[in-house]
Amino acid sequence: MLGTWSDGPTKSAIVDFVGRVTTEGPNYVVPEERVAVFDNDGTLWCEKPIYIQLDFIVRRLAEKAAADGSLADQQPYKAAVAGDLQWFGGAITKHYQGNDTDLKVLAGGIMSLHASMTVDDHAALVGKFYAEANHPTLGRPYLNCTYTPMVELLRYLETNGFTCYIVSGGGRDFMRPVTSQIYGIPPERVVGTAQNLKFEGADGHGELLIQPALDVFDDGPEKPVRIWSRIGRRPILSAGNSNGDDEMLHYSGKPGAAAMRLVVLHDDGEREFDYTAGAERILDHADQFGWTVVSMKNDWTTVFGD
């Protein structure tokens, strides 16, 4: 039971919460209402020095710029060709600090990358990336960059009658090809950012084609909206690590009812990374509202496992 979590107040808080909502009494929650939602990047797997999906996108942008030289001097293609990962990481950090100028430029490039590609062909492209790409500094395949204690937490919750969902600002169709394999969460329980789709059919067969426009950006206040529209229940446990998860944690649990909010703190520069940029607001709220902060350094006996 949570063997990769260090004994201490964080582990005790999780065990106590699960015990209260699964035992007959004033805090008991029936199994069908035991919904848990988890952010992905930085909560279930590593997000530094760049998001895993961003590595995929940078490679695809560079390929497009190589095929069309007129793009090489425009952002985000210019940064992709130069391998300027700081520009991409900075666009995301600025977003979480309230400045979307560079993110809008990046989004424009991303929207056009896979236009008119079928969702099946896109999934195959993503699968090929996962099979070949390694983390740039940790020296391990991306599929081995999941946080072992968090995966263990997923199993612990499921054993106690919870249904776990991923609710991420990352791409829905970038996560779905691997979530069953690495988290044990099937694709129908993955909620994320998505582009518009278009159906085309002929001769008794049909395909879904990716469109160069955003359907939903599943981040910040949009996360609770998507939780309700996709899941139809208010979660009683939520876990995140950045300002983009703040509203999701606020939405967990009804006032006066049992609820747990977990904020993963990246404070282990030796085993992972040490940073709080883009998490200032959620950490302030954790302190203000008594949410449970999970210290990678102090609460986990391992980060990635073997």
pLDDT tens digits along 57-74: 999 999 989 998 888 888
In 3D space, the residue among 277, 279, 112, 71 whose CA is nearest the CA of residue 210 turns out to be 112
How do residues 127-148 score in pLDDT, each as one tens digit? Answer: 999 999 999 999 999 999 999 9
Report strand pairing: 237-240 vs 163-171: unpaired
**In whole angstroms, what is the distance from residue 191 CA to residue 171 CA?**
9
Query: Under a CB-based contact definition with an 8 Å cutoff, are residues 250 and 240 in contact?
Result: no
pLDDT at 210: 97
CA angle at 99 for the pair 165 and 215, rounded to the nearest 5°:
45
Which stretches of the chain score pLDDT less than 70? Answer: none
pLDDT at 223: 98
Kindly report the CATH class assigned to 9-48+144-299. Answer: alpha beta
**pTM as predicted:** 0.93
CB count, 10 Å around CB of 77?
21
Residue type, 123: A
CB count, 10 Å around CB of 286?
20
228-254 core/surface letters (b: 16 or more CB in 10 A; e: else): eebbeebbbbbbbbbbbbbbbbbbbbe
Numbered ranges of CATH 3.40.50.1000 in the chain = 9-48+144-299
In 3D space, the residue among 236, 189, 226 whose CA is nearest the CA of residue 30 turns out to be 236
In 3-state terms the chain splits into helix, strand, coil percentages (rounded to 5) of: 45, 20, 30
pLDDT at 84: 85
pLDDT at 72: 85
Query: Under a CB-based contact definition with an 8 Å cutoff, are residues 34 and 238 in contact?
Result: no
pLDDT at 50: 85
pLDDT at 48: 94
Residue type, 162: F
Please spell the DSSP secondary structure of 197-234, one letter per residue.
EEEEEETTEEEEEEEEEEEE---TTHHHHHHHHHT-S-
**In whole angstroms, what is the distance from residue 128 CA to residue 198 CA?**
24
**In whole angstroms, what is the distance from residue 258 CA to residue 176 CA?**
30
